[in-house]
Amino acid sequence: MATDRALSRSDVKVLTLSALGGALEFYDFIIFVFFAKAIGQLFFPPDMPEWLRQLQTFGIFAAGYLARPLGGIIMAHFGDLLGRKKMFTLSIFLMSVPTLLIGLLPTYQSWGYGAAIALVLMRMLQGAAVGGEVPGAWVFVSEHVKKHHVGLACGSLSAGLVGGILLGSLMSVFINSHLADVLLDWGWRVPFIVGGLFGLLAVYLRQYLHETPVFAQMQRRRALAAEMPVKVLLKNHKRSILLAMAVTWILTGAVVVVVLMTPTLIQAQAGISAVAAFEANALSTFAVMVGAVLSGALSDRFGRGRVLAFWSLLLVASYGLMMWLLPTHPQWLRELYLLAGLGVGITGVIPAIAVSAFPPEVRFTGLSFSYNLAYAIFGGFTPILVSLLVAWHPLAPVGYLAALAVLGIVIGLTFSQRSPI
């Protein structure tokens, strides 16, 4: 029995290569924002007002998000018809090549506005790739392991994705510390070239992965979707779509508020220096990785619904404690932010719930459609709403997470009674 409960050597290989590839792909997608200021100076006219340059630079960054839903749905369509592995490998290839090309692009000085247009096209290719990578990776690992390891598999993959953000942050620190003098000459190119080359290495390593047993069995039984998967999905699985979108909303809220927005919020509200805020954020990001693996593993043992309910409570309690205490106890920043990061580990159990919501024949399409649509809506909506609410009350971000925690608790308790998630 103990042997049955343990991950096999094949499972460990799948999880390791999948998490590594996911980390590198997320690094490639996120590294742009860490060097947005340098890119703005290099790809737009030097006499352009600074505010307009930054607006256009972040507009190019946003282009990647706009391409996510379409890219995800197209790749998921073929993933449900042709195989998980093909799309799983294609997604990282489509991310690596544009990343490498960004590092080699001529700047405004050489190409004028053609350089900015080429940059937009590269970002859109990156967005299409990540739109297929994240749901595709969750489906791939969950279909490789036994059912009682799906939570651990999804949690490990989520930890790898978050690890990509941490890698981007560390690369930014390295470049700005050691190549600051040549940043605008060639230093800015290094993180993109490195990311592209390592991504291509991940493409090679993924050749050693095999098609998922679930898809292979569907092929043998000729049980693949007879119609277009998205048509079957919209006709027969509306409830699953709503469930997956709802838990994705919780995921985006946790990541956007706690990981992305909080370093800026605590500088204004608690007088924390930028250096201290981002150092604590790096530690917190590591705690997210630990929490994701832990929540995923515990969901295998105690049930997805129960762990979702518990971790929803942990998320709002840990973040609320941090934002309440920091103005008077700034010396506790690292400890409080570590605990809040552990709360964001809810990102480990959520994909296990979303993956389990769809039958195998439309699983990739269902997860990709729900995840990317919800991320496009709530990922862009959350920063704007929270920024407006902060002007009304400094603890408004806690209130926003509290609302999402209630949603998580309701979903968790409901489905722990009615569903095998």
Give per-residue pLDDT as tens, 358-394.
Answer: 988 888 888 988 988 888 788 767 877 887 888 888 8
Alpha carbon separation from 22 to 69, 156, 214, 252 (Å, rounded): 18, 10, 21, 17
Q: Return d(Cα 88, Cα 93) in angstroms, integer.
A: 9
Q: Return d(Cα 225, Cα 232) in angstroms, integer.
A: 8
Region 350-363: what's the mean pLDDT? 90
Whether the CB-CB separation of 142 and 16 falls below 8 Å is answered with no
For the chain, domain boundaries = 1-224, 227-421
Distance of CA 344 to the CA centre of its chain: 12
Q: Return d(Cα 323, Cα 321) in angstroms, integer.
A: 6
pLDDT of 346 reads 97
pLDDT of 419 reads 46
> Which of the listed CATH numbers 1.20.1250.20, 3.40.50.800, 3.40.50.140, 3.40.720.10 matches domain 1-224?
1.20.1250.20
pTM: 0.81
Task: Look up residue 225 and give its DSSP letter.
Answer: -
Give per-residue pLDDT as tens, 290-343.
Answer: 999 999 999 999 999 999 999 999 999 999 999 999 999 999 999 999 999 999
Q: Return d(Cα 354, Cα 359) in angstroms, integer.
A: 11
Whether the domain at 1-224 and the domain at 227-421 fall into the same CATH topology: yes
Q: Which residue has the tokens 């790898």?
A: 160
Tokens linked to 409:
């608790």
> Which of the listed CATH numbers 3.40.50.2000, 1.20.1250.20, 3.30.70.580, 3.30.1180.20 matches domain 227-421?
1.20.1250.20
Query: Can you give the C-alpha Rg of the chain in angstroms?
Result: 21
